[in-house]
Amino acid sequence: MAELLGDFGRRLSRDKMAMAGLVVVLMLFAVAIFAKQLAPYPPEAINTSRILAPPSAENLMGTDILGRDVLSRMIHGAGVSLSVGFVAVGISTLIGVLLGAIAGYYGSIVDKIVMRFVDIMLCFPSFFLILAVIAFVGPSIWNIMIVIGVTSWMSVTRLVRAEFLSLKERDFVQAAVSQGAGDLRIIFLHILPNAMAPVLVAATLGVAHAVLIESSLSFLGLGVQPPDPSWGNMLTEGKDNIEIAWWLSVFPGLAILTTVMGYNLLGEGIRDSLDPRLRT
């Protein structure tokens, strides 16, 4: 195991694009964790004397329609976006791993039932399904996390199922069966640890997808609600004032772009590093 981890680390470290993504991800973590220390002003602080002030030494990214510092709101918005991303991916990964493990291990009628349910879920456009559910349950950060999570597990289920179908025929699994190991022990102790590589890649890419979905919902007014800062609802303010305050759109847009690109680059790098066909 230590040798495999070392090999993975060496391959990943040689991938310059993956390292760039990792740097972006680590910087976002640092900003989210130390938001209160890094933000020059409280995110809700209103200054009516500096409404829609352009970027300057006093406000590095300018101010919004209420005179609030854009940089401070950007910094606090990073924590909101990452929280939504990680909680939503955690929920979707948990559901996907459980259903995929059950379908792949037991096969037969169980596999057919689970996969037909996956097919049904895939028939609905995911974003419109999320919009419909959010409109029904109401917009809040916890509702967004849960809804994104429970509507994004299908790809993980298919990945885990495929891994289980392959791994359950291996010698180490047959040896565990011959020694009288129960189904739960075989699933969670023998097969699942060997099936987590594609799940790790899917989870990394899933964070970027969840951040993008949250930003889209907030932009449409169905996500994080003002005055709480979110890159999506900051874009909404920018849209309404694009002709006179370009900074309200540019900076949140760049933050979303950088975050999604960082996670995608890291996810692609992890996938390439874990691909056994690339091992010499």
Q: CA distances (Å), 257 to each of 172, 234, 275, in order?
A: 44, 14, 27
Identify the pLDDT of residue 3: 60
pLDDT in tens, 123-172: 888 788 888 888 888 778 888 888 889 888 999 999 999 999 888 888 88
pTM of the model: 0.85
Please determine, for residue 2, whether its predicted confidence score (pLDDT) is greater than 60: no
Cα dihedral 45→239→128→29 (10° resolution): -50
Domain boundaries, the chain: 2-36+67-278
Position 86 pLDDT exceeds 80: yes
**Would you list the DSSP string of 194-250?**
GGHHHHHHHHHHHHHHHHHHHHHHHHTTSSSPTTS--HHHHHHHHHHTTTT-THHHH
Fold of the 2-36+67-278 domain: MetI-like fold (1.10.3720)
User: Measured between alpha carbons, how far is 237 from 253 in angstroms, rounded to an integer?
Assistant: 12
